[in-house]
Chains A and B, each alone.
Chain A
Amino acid sequence: DTGVSQNPRHKITKRGQNVTFRCDPISEHNRLYWYRQTLGQGPEFLTYFQNEAQLEKSRLLSDRFSAERPKGSFSTLEIQRTEQGDSAMYLCASSLEGGYGYTFGSGTRLTVV
């Protein structure tokens, strides 16, 4: 296993379009997290899953943001009707329970034009 994998690495989209990002966690990790990072800031927590259950989603930035982890393996983060303010790096992480092995992927950089 080579770590947490995120695709695509970069995404440029026009304002108003929908985008979807994929995250493949470390296979034995049952927890998966999504974060957003803007320039000059630390990552900001968005949501997390334990297996296929989404245990926290109140920190998603608006109802345009949604995430799924249908079979408890990979996850997708979708942003509908993108806005310029959505431009950021979207990071995925995974861990075991207890936060052990908390590993981040390389991120997907979104640019909304």
Chain B
Amino acid sequence: SQELEQSPQSLIVQEGKNLTINCTSSKTLYGLYWYKQKYGEGLIFLMMLQKGGEEKSHEKITAKLDEKKQQSSLHITASQPSHAGTYLCGADMSYSGAGSYQLTFGKGTKLSVIP
């Protein structure tokens, strides 16, 4: 089974609607990263979370890491067509002091926004 599960696998929303993507692990997450990827391109960094209960926002995107550091959510408010793409969560799942930061990724959530 996948170490890092993302849900849903895909999402189609009307422009202006809010949405949430989840990233869940059975292990503690040391360093949780959210990225956005357009088809055939590289990953664009969105946010990094490290502390339990941490929440960060950038423009209309908010990401949270739960207190137990085993689940993160990404919330988009008032979605726009420019938000379309695949959202990936990646995590360091092996504590090793300074951190190796070998990231384990989920399979991604494909978001489509209908104008």
Using a CB–CB cutoff of 8 Å, the interface residues on chain A facing chain B are 4, 6, 31, 33, 35, 40-45, 48, 55-56, 59, 89, 91, 93, 95, 97-107, 109
Q: Inside 8 A of B88's CB, which chain A residues have their CB? A: 42-43
Q: Which of B42, B99, B103, B105 has the most CB of A within 10 A?
A: B42
Interface assignment of B78: CB less than 8 Å from any CB of chain A:
no
Q: Could you tell me if B107 and A42 are in contact, using CB atoms closer than 8 angstroms?
A: yes
Q: Name the distance in Å between B37's Cβ and chain A's nearest Cβ.
A: 9
Q: Inside 8 A of A97's CB, which chain B residues have their CB? A: 98-99
Q: Please, which residue of chain B has its CB at the minimum distance from the CB of A95? A: B101
Q: How far is the CA of A12 from the CA of B14 in the complex (A)?
A: 39
24 sampled A-B residue pairs with Cβ under 8 A: A4-B42, A33-B102, A33-B103, A40-B107, A42-B88, A42-B90, A42-B105, A42-B107, A43-B43, A43-B90, A43-B103, A43-B105, A45-B103, A45-B104, A56-B102, A91-B43, A99-B92, A102-B33, A102-B45, A102-B101, A104-B35, A104-B43, A107-B41, A109-B40
State whether A98 and B100 are in contact (beta carbons under 8 Å apart), knowing that A42-B90, A104-B35 are contacts in the complex: no
Q: How far is the CA of A31 from the CA of B33 in the complex (A)?
A: 16
Q: Inside 8 A of A48's CB, which chain B residues have their CB? A: 100-102
Given A43-B90, A89-B40, 17 more A-B residue pairs with CB atoms under 8 Å apart are A33-B102, A41-B107, A41-B108, A42-B108, A43-B88, A43-B103, A48-B101, A93-B43, A98-B98, A98-B99, A99-B92, A100-B48, A102-B33, A102-B45, A104-B44, A106-B42, A107-B42
Q: How far is the CA of A33 from the CA of B106 in the complex (A)?
A: 18
Q: Inside 8 A of A41's CB, which chain B residues have their CB? A: 107-108
Which residues from 21 to 36 on chain B have a C-beta closer than 8 Å to any C-beta of chain A? 31, 33, 35
Q: How far is the CA of A91 from the CA of B102 in the complex (A)?
A: 13
Q: Inside 8 A of A107's CB, which chain B residues have their CB? A: 41-42
Q: Which of A31, A41, A56 has the most CB of B within 10 A?
A: A41
